[in-house]
Amino acid sequence: MKVLASTGKEEIAIVYILEMDNGELVECVESLQPPIPRHEKWVLLVSTMFGCPIGCKMCDAGGFYHGKPSKSEILCQIDFLVRKHYPDGKIPCKQFKIQFARMGEPSLNPAVLDVLDELPFLYNTPGLMPSISTVAPASAGRFFERLLTIKQERYTGGHFQFQFSIHTTDAKQRDEIIPVKKWSFHQIADYGKRFFAPGDRKITLNFALAQGNSINPRVLLDHFDPDIFLIKITPLNPTYRAADNQLISYIDLCQAEDGSSNRYMVVDALRAADYEVIVSIGELEENQIGSNCGQYLRTHLSASSPLPEGYTYAIQTK
């Protein structure tokens, strides 16, 4: 493995483009959440595919699909980021979060499960908390069954974060945003009831919400128990695919940046339905770095014209 390029800064986030021994490229990220210091919370994002076959309408990682990294190729990304700061493998972070979410749909690569099964034994890290975010492809049933077993054996008591990215409660809109056959809300809810145990973190229903896309609390209540599921609403990050598909974020990043109103009718309606709701707005400078969800440096490098809202940091080649 070798580092081909990177961008960002230590106190926020750094994105790395890595070349594996077989010549395939992946991206991985290390990030902080200022003003929280690294010893309190450190987040890694690793790729689970060489590209992604799903093609979600807002995600620049769709395309470039060239297959699935092996267990060792996923662990190689993690170890590269870990040893950069902690050469002895002792990670003193109270929360050491590894998101299998930089590039690729994790449930389509069984090697992710092998990594999860082995991770607790690789480093001295009591704060380890893996995070899986999935669109719930219909073909991934065997993955989810084994994931349930691994979570029950390795990650009890709130040491695992699980998220379904659904983006809208309207079935037609969901099919347009996530153009792959996937679990119904009924199937997601049934699995969530099996996955959740006392002491666990609630399962997240994530909405990267575009203007015009629906979140209907009544639809959610028909399927998802507020005692098991929480709602996370995130901005639609500036990506080339979002621009091409004329998607505009429901969360106003300008308001978030200047500290003005962050009250949204949909949030109030969801809370009135007894859901815990998180409006998750990270460090906005990550958009310029290209380290946020859905952003992908290789798309930027091959673009014919720049995206003024994102990817504005200089990329350093090695």
pLDDT above 60: residue 262: no
Which pTM does this prediction carry?
0.94
Alpha helices by DSSP H, listed for 178-277, are 185-195, 217-223, 240-244, 253-258, 265-272
pLDDT tens-digit map of 179-236 = 999 999 999 999 999 999 999 999 999 999 999 999 999 999 999 999 999 999 998 8
- In whole angstroms, what is the distance from residue 181 CA to residue 197 CA? 28
pLDDT at position 196 is: 98
Q: Which of 31-45, 139-153, 283-297 has the lowest mean pLDDT?
A: 283-297
* Angstrom distances, CA of residue 253 to CA of 9, 207, 209, 219, 276: 21, 15, 12, 27, 22
pLDDT-derived band at 300 (thresholds 50, 70, 90) equals confident
- Assess contact for 80 and 18: CB atoms under 8 A: yes
Enumerate domains of the chain plus CATH numbers: 2-317 (3.20.20.70)
pLDDT at position 64 is: 76
- Assess contact for 63 and 52: CB atoms under 8 A: yes
pLDDT tens-digit map of 84-103 = 999 999 999 999 999 999 99
26: left (phi over 0), alpha (psi -120 to 50) or beta: beta
To the nearest 10°, the Cα dihedral for 136, 168, 163, 235? 130
pLDDT at position 260 is: 43
- In whole angstroms, what is the distance from residue 292 CA to residue 21 CA? 26
Cis (ω within 30 of 0) for the bond into 35? yes
- Assess contact for 4 and 22: CB atoms under 8 A: no
pLDDT at position 257 is: 47
pLDDT above 60: residue 259: no
**Beta-carbon count within 10 A of 142 CB:** 11
pLDDT tens-digit map of 147-171 = 999 999 999 999 999 999 999 999 9
- Assess contact for 231 and 276: CB atoms under 8 A: yes
